[in-house]
């Protein structure tokens, strides 16, 4: 595998990039998100968009409490991400669309009070959307306070 001119093992490349908060979206990275991601507790932006990542989110991601952006769109990730996501209380932008995530959207999603963008479409989430989505008063606001279309919640349910 090659990443931005660096050849080497996937975990080592990803760990190196994440340690400097280098966006690694659109780089054809394959495999699972390594458990070592837990070491980056000060990281604010995690952009792994549009790679070929698979597997479930490592439980150790709950330690990334400073994240304001979690962008995992356009991968082949699976499992139930919500038990991890609802622990990331500083999230402003959550982008999980176009994966194979499943499960229900829990009522605890309403605890993500800073959330401005929520992209969940094109997964296999089931059930009803919780009424606590209405508690997300920042949802849909841009940085300048203007409303913009940043919510994608469509999924079969």
Position 157 in a domain: no
Position 39 in a domain: yes
CATH number at residue 84: 3.80.10.10
Whole-angstrom distance, CA of residue 110 vs CA of residue 115: 9
Q: Is the dihedral of CA 54, 50, 90, 141 positive or negative?
A: negative
Whole-angstrom distance, CA of residue 92 vs CA of residue 25: 18
What pLDDT is attached to residue 103?
Answer: 95
- Structural domain boundaries, residue 26: 2-152
pLDDT tens per residue across span 30-77: 899 988 888 888 889 999 999 999 999 999 999 999 999 999 999 999
pLDDT tens per residue across span 134-150: 999 998 886 554 444 44
Q: What share of the chain is helix, strand, coil (3-state, %, to 5)?
A: 20, 25, 55
Position 48 in a domain: yes
Q: Token pair 């203007």 is at which residue?
A: 146
Q: Determine the average pLDDT of the residues in 14-27.
A: 63
Number of domain units in the chain: 1
């Amino acid at each position: 595998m090659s990443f931005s001119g660096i050849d080497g093992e996937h975990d080592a490349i990803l760990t190196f990039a994440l340690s400097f908060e280098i966006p690694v979206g659109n780089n054809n990275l394959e495999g699972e998100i390594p458990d070592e991601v837990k070491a980056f507790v000060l990281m604010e932006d995690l952009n792994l968009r549009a790679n070929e990542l698979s597997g479930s989110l490592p439980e150790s991601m709950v330690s990334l409490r400073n994240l304001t952006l979690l962008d995992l769109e356009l991968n082949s990730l699976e499992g139930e991400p919500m038990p991890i996501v609802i622990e990331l209380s500083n999230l402003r932008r959550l982008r999980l669309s176009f994966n194979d995530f499943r499960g229900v959207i829990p009522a605890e999603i309403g605890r993500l009070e800073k959330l401005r963008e929520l992209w969940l479409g094109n997964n296999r989430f089931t059930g009803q959307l919780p009424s606590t989505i209405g508690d997300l008063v920042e949802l849909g606001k841009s940085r300048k306070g203007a409303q913009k279309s940043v919510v994608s919640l469509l999924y079969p349910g």
